[in-house]
Amino acid sequence: MTNTSHLKRVVITGLSVVSPVGNSIADLTEQVFGGISGIKKLDLPFTDQLTCQIAAQAQFNPADYFTKHTYSMLDRSSQMALHTSIEAIKDAKLEINEALKSRMGVYVGTGMGGAQSLEDGYIRLYKDGSNRLKPFTVLMSMYNAAASAIALEHQLTGPNQTFSTACSSSGVAIGEASRLIRHGYADVMLAGGTEALLTFGSIKAWEALRTLAEEDADDISASCKPFSANRTGLVLGEGAAMLVLESYEHAVARGATIYAEIAGYGAANDCLHITQPSVDGQAGSMQAALKDSGLAADAIQYINAHGTGTKLNDVTETNAIKKVFGTHAYDLSVSSTKSMHGHLMGAAGALEAVITTLAVNSDTLPPTINLVQPDPECDLDYVPNVSKKLDRLEYAMSNSFAFGGTGAALILKKLN
């Protein structure tokens, strides 16, 4: 048996979001746990050229937070990531002194990086006929731009990496950041994800995949229906979420308020198909997280599911949960908050990790809204339509799965 006595405990002390369901933890809590959808008619200049007319947009204006000099050199994805990093540090009441700078790093997940800046360059070249691009096009569109901007802002000289594993990117980023702290390579990490892919080209590409949800005829906000018999697909979203992770010793020494502990992390690749989800692959991530935590499967009370609302994923994830948890699958609760905030792709895992942290902290399970016609193949407790209060939520899991096959699962533990 491996000796783990030297490993450090990892806790969450700061949270921040920019999302379709609020740009503060207070607003996020009110909307997600209140079952309020952020899915609306797409409001962009090119909307009338799209087949898809719905999305989950974040109401984020960089001019409200940064000088023009700062935001003009950052893609929207980096703007949101930088803002959430600043707010997460404020939430953690963390003072970054000289001694901490080399012991604090940044891990960010993103699926498409600076997609808007890259598309703007293509439009300038191929549509407008210009022979020149903005001088910062490369720097704005590179995938590590967000993590670099965060490190520069806070002068952090510790580990700095960007993870791009499609929809599991920020779940992986958080998990790998927690490993750094556990093994003593850092004392504090900013970990999370960001995505800004509501561009004309990106949406047209997703339309071509035929995985996007149809607009609900009665209520646009109800267009994403995970685990429902009448689900039609996913809804694209945008936003960013950042968590401050610390070693337990570091957090206690400075008197930090602790939201929850990261008790386990697991990642696996299903190696089945570039887009088709696999029961074994998804189960592998959850099993790896349980092994890492040392917990029995029946310790988990709640799972924040990947739950995209596509025909294949929801049944696959349900069956993967049954494979891992056996009969206990019918005792725990599962919900998909994507029914409210849509699919933020590379940022989804981070936003859902924040929501799961809030669930553990408040003993309250967020609902899967729009679940009116249950799919007989999806027969677990999906917390339909309204949140559920528990006497005590001790352990919860947050799942992130992706095109390409990489999955990640995080286990969060209550400390208070």
Per-residue pLDDT reduced to its tens digit, 226-259: 999 999 999 999 999 999 999 999 999 999 999 9
For 299-340, the pLDDT digits (tens) are 999 999 999 999 999 999 999 999 999 999 999 999 999 999
Give phi and psi for 310, each to the nearest 5.
-85, 155
CB 145 within 8 A of CB 139: yes
Q: Look at residue 6 in the predicted model and tell me its pLDDT.
A: 85
Quote the CA–CA distance of 376 and 222 in Å, as a whole number.
20
Sketch out the chain's domains with CATH numbers: 10-253 (3.40.47.10), 264-413 (3.40.47.10)
Angle at 370 between CA 367 and CA 371, to 5 degrees: 75
Residue type, 272: L
Q: Which of 83, 154, 343, 378 is catalytic?
A: 343
Quote the CA–CA distance of 415 and 13 in Å, as a whole number.
12
Q: Is 343 a catalytic residue?
A: yes
Rg for the chain, CA atoms, rounded? 20
Which positions of the chain have pLDDT values less than 70? Answer: 1-5
Quote the CA–CA distance of 94 and 87 in Å, as a whole number.
11
Cβ-count burial 53-68 (b if 16+ within 10 Å, e if not)? ebbbbbebebeebbee
CB 280 within 8 A of CB 322: no
Q: Look at residue 1 in the predicted model and tell me its pLDDT.
A: 36
Q: Which of 52, 167, 224, 378 is catalytic?
A: 167
Q: Is 328 a catalytic residue?
A: no
Q: What is the value of pTM for the model shown? A: 0.97
Q: Look at residue 416 in the predicted model and tell me its pLDDT.
A: 75
Instruction: Please tell me the number of Cα atoms within 13 Å of 112 on its side-chain side.
Output: 25
Q: What is the DSSP string of 58-117?
A: ----GGGTS-HHHHTTS-HHHHHHHHHHHHHHHHHT----HHHHTTEEEEEE-SSSSHHH
CB 35 within 8 A of CB 266: no
Q: Which of 224, 306, 341, 378 is catalytic?
A: 306
Q: How far apart are the first and last CA of the chain?
A: 30
DSSP H helices in 220-337: 248-253, 279-293, 311-325
Q: Look at residue 2 in the predicted model and tell me its pLDDT.
A: 43
Structure tokens, 365: 């399970």
